[in-house]
Amino acid sequence: MNAVIDVAESTETRQTTKTHDTVASLSDITKRYSNGVVALDGLSLDLRRGEVVALLGPNGAGKSTAVKLMMGLSTPTSGSVRIFGADPRNAAARIRTGVMLQVGRAPEMLRVREHLTVFRGYYPNPMPYADIVKAAGLEGIEDRMFGQISGGQKQRVLFAISLAGDPDLIFLDEPTVGLDIEARRGMWAEIRSLAARGKTVLLTTHYLEEADSLAHRIVVINKGRVVCEGTPAEVKSIGAGLSTPSGNVTGDVKIIRCTTTLTGKHLLAMPGVSTVELYGKTTVITSTQPESTLREMLALDQQLHSLEVQSPALEDAFLALTADRS
């Protein structure tokens, strides 16, 4: 038993030193389509071993182009793409990656089991069949035709396909679309356990909650460029306008909502307050020192009521970061 663990550990250390922890990288990528549209404009992105990275951005930001480049389905106009130090179109690199794409239609007259058999067959060392079925929660539908299962079940089969080769790098494009809450939590748990086993996961999603709870790192892109990058907490703070993307973030940003007679000018002068907005009767204040701000507000305004204190939501950050300022 101990011996087995030792072998696994030594293999891991070796891999780590060999790849210097960087599993995949996009360096200074520009992608211009033949119709003149520039999808990516000087984008750089590194994926490290064992991390879950969420790629966020509005529709048309260049997310799927970035993912396609990493899967070797497309080539950049300039810049370089490396997967495990090799070209992504290299067969050796493909054997170590798994992909889940939004597929409109898959062959419907094949059974779930048959789809998995086909994809497992592409890899020299596939993940054991039973493990895939368990990880993707396909127990009981293995013998159903793909065309006869529900949308959420199809989504889980596509997830299973991405795991077929027991890959070290997994691309998941909107993995939980159409899943019910229970199935979504199940897939999240599975993605976390993949990362815990040293696998790298790149996730694109429209569910900000998903990025918030799963990702070690969030990369927000817009118009083909990285707008900001950091842990979920960092991204939220940056989005709240309290720090420049390069600056240090305290991580203690709060949004205070209340009904108060204090004027905006007065509030802005208080310690830590960075923005004040008035929506009807409600004043919304962002503060980096929420405790002192609140103490002062409560002391000055005895009539203050309807008080709420919140952490900034990723959604607000996302909207702020990708807003069209031009």
Partner 1 sequence: MSTTALSLPSAPTNGLLRNLRIFAREARFEFVRLLRTRTFSLSVIGFPVMLYTLFGLLMNRGESLEGIAVAKYTLGSYAVFGLVGAALFGIGVGMAADFSAGWLELKRASPMPPLAYLLAKCCTAMAFGAIIVSLLTVLGIAFGHVHLTLDEYARMIAFTLTGAIPFASLGLVIALLVPLNSAPGIANLIYLPMSFCSGLWMPFKFLPHSIKVIAPFLPTYHLSQLMLGSLGAPMVGTTASHWSGLFGFTLLMLGIAWIAFRRREQNS
**Among 86, 110, 177, 320, contact with partner 1 (rule: CB under 8 A):** 110
Q: Is 52 in the site for partner 1 (CB under 8 A)?
A: no
**Among 1, 4, 59, 105, contact with partner 1 (rule: CB under 8 A):** 105
Q: Is 129 in the site for partner 1 (CB under 8 A)?
A: no
Q: Is 86 in the site for partner 1 (CB under 8 A)?
A: no
Q: Is 10 in the site for partner 1 (CB under 8 A)?
A: yes
CA gap 19, 25 in Å, rounded: 11
Contact 284, 268 (CB under 8 A): no
Contact 154, 129 (CB under 8 A): no
What residues contact 69, with CB distance under 8 A and at least 6 apart? 26, 29, 31, 40, 75, 76, 81, 88
Q: Is 11 in the site for partner 1 (CB under 8 A)?
A: yes
Stretch that binds partner 1, among 45-53, 71-79, 243-251, 256-264 (CB under 8 A): 71-79
Local structure of residue 86 (DSSP, 8 states): B
201-260: which residues touch partner 1 (CB under 8 A)?
none
Q: Report the SS3 class of residue 76.
A: coil
Q: Is 106 in the site for partner 1 (CB under 8 A)?
A: yes
Between 156 and 236, name the residue whose CB sits nearer to partner 1. Answer: 156
**Among 73, 86, 284, 300, contact with partner 1 (rule: CB under 8 A):** 73
Residue 7 buriedness (CB in 10 A; 0-12 / 13-18 / 19+): exposed
Closest CA to 9 of 197, 201, 216, 200: 197
Interaction pattern, residues 255-294, with partner 1; x per rule: CB under 8 A: ----------------------------------------
97 membership: H or E segment, kind and range: strand 97-100
**Among 13, 103, 180, 271, contact with partner 1 (rule: CB under 8 A):** 103
The least CB distance from residue 307 to partner 1, in Å, is: 49
**Among 9, 20, 78, 122, contact with partner 1 (rule: CB under 8 A):** 122
> Most distant CA pair in the chain: distance in Å?
72
Question: By 3-state DSSP, what share of the chain in percent is helix, strand and coil, each rounded to 5?
Answer: 35, 25, 35
Stretch that binds partner 1, among 119-127, 199-207, 248-256, 299-307 (CB under 8 A): 119-127
Interaction pattern, residues 156-185, with partner 1; x per rule: CB under 8 A: --x--x--xx-----x--------------
CB-based contacts of 130-136 (< 8 A; 24+ apart in sequence): 132/160, 132/163, 132/164, 133/160, 135/160, 135/163, 135/190, 136/160, 136/163, 136/190
Stretch that binds partner 1, among 102-110, 196-204, 240-248, 316-324 (CB under 8 A): 102-110
**Among 56, 74, 243, 286, contact with partner 1 (rule: CB under 8 A):** 74
Q: Is 36 in the site for partner 1 (CB under 8 A)?
A: no
Between 31 and 217, name the residue whose CB sits nearer to partner 1. Answer: 31
Q: Is 92 in the site for partner 1 (CB under 8 A)?
A: yes
Sign of the alpha-carbon torsion through 213, 219, 223, 227: positive
SS3 of 26-55: the string is EEEEEEECCCCCEEEEEEEEEEECCCEEEE
Between 15 and 289, name the residue whose CB sits nearer to partner 1. Answer: 15
Residue 48 buriedness (CB in 10 A; 0-12 / 13-18 / 19+): middle
Question: Which positions touch partner 1 (CB under 8 A)?
Answer: 7, 10-11, 14, 33-35, 68, 71-74, 91-92, 94-95, 97, 99, 101-110, 114, 117-119, 121-125, 145, 158, 161, 164-165, 171
